Amino acid sequence: MTLNTVPPWEDVQNYIDGEWQSPTGDGGRDIVNPATGETLSHVGFSSESDIDTAVEAGQDAFETWSTTAVEERIQPLFELKQLLEAHQDELAEVLVREHGKTRGEASGELRRGIENVEVACGIPSMMQAGHLPNAAPEIDETAVRKPLGVFTAITPFNFPGMIPLWFLPYAVATGNAFILKPSEQDPVVAQRIFELIDQAGFPDGVVQLVHGSVDTVNGLLDHDGIAGASFVGSTPVAKAIYERAAKNGKRVQAQGGAKNHVIVTETANLDFAAQKTVSSALACGGERCLANDNILVEASVYDEFVELVLEEAGSKVVGDGLDDGTDIGALISPEHEERVREFIASGIDEGAELLLDGRDVDVPGYEGGNFLAPTVFGDVDPDMRIAREEIFGPVMGLLPVEGIDEAIDVMNRSDFGNAASLFTGRGSDARKFRHQADVGNVAVNAGTAAPMAFFHFGGRKDSFFGDLHAQGEDMIHFYTDKTIYIERWPDES
């Protein structure tokens, strides 16, 4: 089996109860290659009746799947891992065409997604909840985790190959049914992953795909047959989804936007810190919730560090993600490119020093693409918009600070708390940072605080609404409810 990587592609389809179906609701949108402007495909939006059909199929499947032996439940996941690996290059190509990032970035995100499939294959051990003989006189107590029904996940455009896999493998491994609603901006890679899911041996209705936009999401959140929802996307939507799902009595976890900080102290290896900082801020064109784009530098090394950052950022090649030489691909849409340009204009208006201007980038042969080259501001003030708000583009700002205390104070005043990195050679700075950072993912001498799949991933403050995060053990808790069995069998002899 080969996946279709060469556009134009057929219209995107729902995968409901083991069948491919066209969405039957109103509305839809074209899927456009961000590097060329070429229309690749079209996605229609799902109707209420599509959602009803999927939820009912999920409920039917749940009846059997939730009581299927756990060893049997993980066999399709082992198969899916093999299929994802065998088709990783094709999936990466599809992802690059519809998203714009580079081939290496696309392949890397798929690898991080596959990691979650691998972790979920360990569910026979991870789902055990505990047993204590003689918990009370003649009484044994056992905790068990039970699946809850049909779950949904609503995912963003920026990691369309990875983020669905933060949820899907754990949902089904624990015995639930699962419905994915991917971003309508780049849904083709999800469709291709479901072409593999179709081959992996899941019973019909266990794993389903519905396409759509706001109405589809609301239809899922309001549906009585949905037990819980996972969301990843922008902060205003995350907050709205958290509130709506909770009001409807559902489990919910909602991961929002970010504004991440890097702190560089005078004892850091500055060359290493500059290289890692630039790659953290600019990877995937800055369209990452882990982009560390607010860089707080100890004043004594500020000028030296700025030079290193400019050299590193200035060397990046902008172009089509399918070209091997490209470091920075296209932004997702012309509207998003315009939004990033407005941020750059606001930085200039508010008095930041524009050290590297990426606005005039020229990518010959790709005049229809949404390109911006790395843009670097110096002398940024923490109150400027570019320092407070999520830009989601290849823009970074440098702020001089007196030392680690001021840096932590500036960082902790942010509305967001997704990730932060410290570069230092001093253990006492590292310890202070670890203890005081009001942030969910904290890295020392590493550019991007991205946990492996066997650890949970999620932020704080406006970056996260809920309590259990994506990935790893948190997902087992999210997808199951615990029951206690108390047994007493007095000796009758």
Of 11 and 323, the one with the shorter C-beta distance to ligand NAD is 11
Q: Is 184 in the site for ligand NAD (CB under 6 A)?
A: yes
440 in helix, strand or coil? coil
Alpha carbons within 13 A on the beta-carbon side of 281: 27
Compute the chain's Rg from CA coordinates: 24
DSSP H or E run through 465: strand 464-465
**Segment 231-250, which members bind ligand NAD (CB under 6 A)?**
232-234, 237, 240
Of 255 and 294, the one with the shorter C-beta distance to ligand NAD is 255
Q: Is 452 in the site for ligand NAD (CB under 6 A)?
A: no
Q: Which of 91, 220, 274, 289 is catalytic?
A: 289
Task: Report the 10 Å Cβ neighbour count for 473.
Answer: 15
Q: Name the minimum Å distance from CB 179 to ligand NAD.
A: 13
Q: Is 183 in the site for ligand NAD (CB under 6 A)?
A: yes
Q: Name the minimum Å distance from CB 457 to ligand NAD.
A: 6
Helix, strand counts (H, E) of the chain: 17, 22
490 in helix, strand or coil? coil
Of 143 and 214, the one with the shorter C-beta distance to ligand NAD is 214
Among 41, 414, 418, 471, binds ligand NAD (CB under 6 A): 418
Residue 121 bears catalytic tag:
no
Of 50 and 184, the one with the shorter C-beta distance to ligand NAD is 184
Residue count, binding to ligand NAD (CB under 6 A)? 27
Q: Is 155 in the site for ligand NAD (CB under 6 A)?
A: yes
Q: Name the minimum Å distance from CB 419 to ligand NAD.
A: 9
Taking a C-beta distance cutoff of 8 angstroms, is the pair 31, 41 a contact?
Answer: yes
Among 28, 58, 156, 319, binds ligand NAD (CB under 6 A): 156
Of 200 and 262, the one with the shorter C-beta distance to ligand NAD is 262
Task: Report the 10 Å Cβ neighbour count for 128.
Answer: 14
58 in helix, strand or coil? helix
Q: Helix 188-200 and helix 75-86: axis angle, to 10°?
A: 130
How much of the chain is in helix, strand and coil states, percent to nearest 5?
40, 25, 40
**Segment 204-223, which members bind ligand NAD (CB under 6 A)?**
213-214, 217
Which positions from 108 to 147 touch ligand NAD by CB under 6 A, shown as an x/- string?
A: ----------------------------------------
Q: Name the minimum Å distance from CB 25 to ligand NAD.
A: 13
The single-letter DSSP state of residue 297 is E
Of 96 and 258, the one with the shorter C-beta distance to ligand NAD is 258
E strands, 172-271, are 177-181, 207-209, 226-232, 251-255, 260-264
Among 258, 363, 398, 439, binds ligand NAD (CB under 6 A): 258
Q: Name the minimum Å distance from CB 280 to ligand NAD.
A: 14
**Token duo for residue 227:** 């037990």
Q: Is 421 in the site for ligand NAD (CB under 6 A)?
A: no
**Token duo for residue 277:** 């900082």
Of 213 and 375, the one with the shorter C-beta distance to ligand NAD is 213
Q: Is 100 in the site for ligand NAD (CB under 6 A)?
A: no
Distance between CA atoms of residues 328 and 322, nearest Å = 11
Task: Indicate the residue whose CB is closest to ligand NAD.
Answer: 233
Q: Is 414 in the site for ligand NAD (CB under 6 A)?
A: no
308 in helix, strand or coil? helix
Among 255, 277, 280, 471, binds ligand NAD (CB under 6 A): 255
* 146 Cα distance to chain centroid: 26
Phi and psi at residue 52, to the nearest 5°: -55, -45
Among 327, 390, 429, 462, binds ligand NAD (CB under 6 A): 390
Among 147, 169, 228, 256, binds ligand NAD (CB under 6 A): 256
Q: Is 463 in the site for ligand NAD (CB under 6 A)?
A: yes
Q: Name the minimum Å distance from CB 441 to ligand NAD.
A: 9
Distance between CA atoms of residues 26 and 479, nearest Å = 32
Q: Is 294 in the site for ligand NAD (CB under 6 A)?
A: no
Taking a C-beta distance cutoff of 8 angstroms, is the pair 465, 240 a contact?
Answer: no
Of 377 and 464, the one with the shorter C-beta distance to ligand NAD is 464
Q: Name the minimum Å distance from CB 74 to ligand NAD.
A: 26
Taking a C-beta distance cutoff of 8 angstroms, is the pair 302, 397 a contact?
Answer: no
Return the bridge partners of 301, or none. none
**Nearest of 459, 427, 457 to residue 445 by alpha carbon:** 427
Of 65 and 457, the one with the shorter C-beta distance to ligand NAD is 457
Distances in whole angstroms, Cα of residue 47 to Cα of each of 143, 164, 220: 40, 21, 11
**Nearest of 414, 467, 462, 451 to residue 257 by alpha carbon:** 462
What SS3 string covers 442-470? EEECCCCCCCCCCCCECCEECCEECCCCE
**Segment 157-176, which members bind ligand NAD (CB under 6 A)?**
157-159
The single-letter DSSP state of residue 141 is E
Q: Is 257 in the site for ligand NAD (CB under 6 A)?
A: yes
Which residues are marked as active site? Answer: 289
Return residues touching ligand NAD (CB under 6 A).
Answer: 154-159, 181, 183-184, 213-214, 217, 232-234, 237, 240, 255-258, 289, 390, 392, 418, 459, 463
